[in-house]
Amino acid sequence: MNSFNLRQAQELQAKLVKAQEELAEATVEASSGGGAVKVTVTGQQKILSIKIAPEAINPDDAELLEDLVLTAVSEAIAKSQELAAQRLGKLTGGFKIPGLT
* pTM of the entire predicted model: 0.77
Closest CA to 92 of 11, 3, 16, 14: 16
Would you put residue 26 in left (φ > 0), alpha (ψ -120 to 50) or beta? beta
CATH class of domain segment(s) 3-92: alpha beta
The per-residue pLDDT for range 7-57, each reduced to its tens digit, is 877 888 888 888 889 899 999 999 999 999 999 999 999 999 999 999 999
In this predicted structure, the answer to whether residue 72 has a pLDDT above a threshold of 50 is yes
Contact 65, 98 (CB under 8 A): no
Q: What secondary structure does DSSP assign to 8-19, as a single string?
A: HHHHHHHHHHHH
**Bigger pLDDT: 7 vs 79:** 79
Contact (CB, 8 A) for 76 and 41: yes
Q: What is the pLDDT, as a whole number, of residue 1?
A: 46
| 65 — pLDDT class (breaks 50, 70, 90) | very high
pLDDT grade for 6, boundaries at 50, 70 and 90: confident
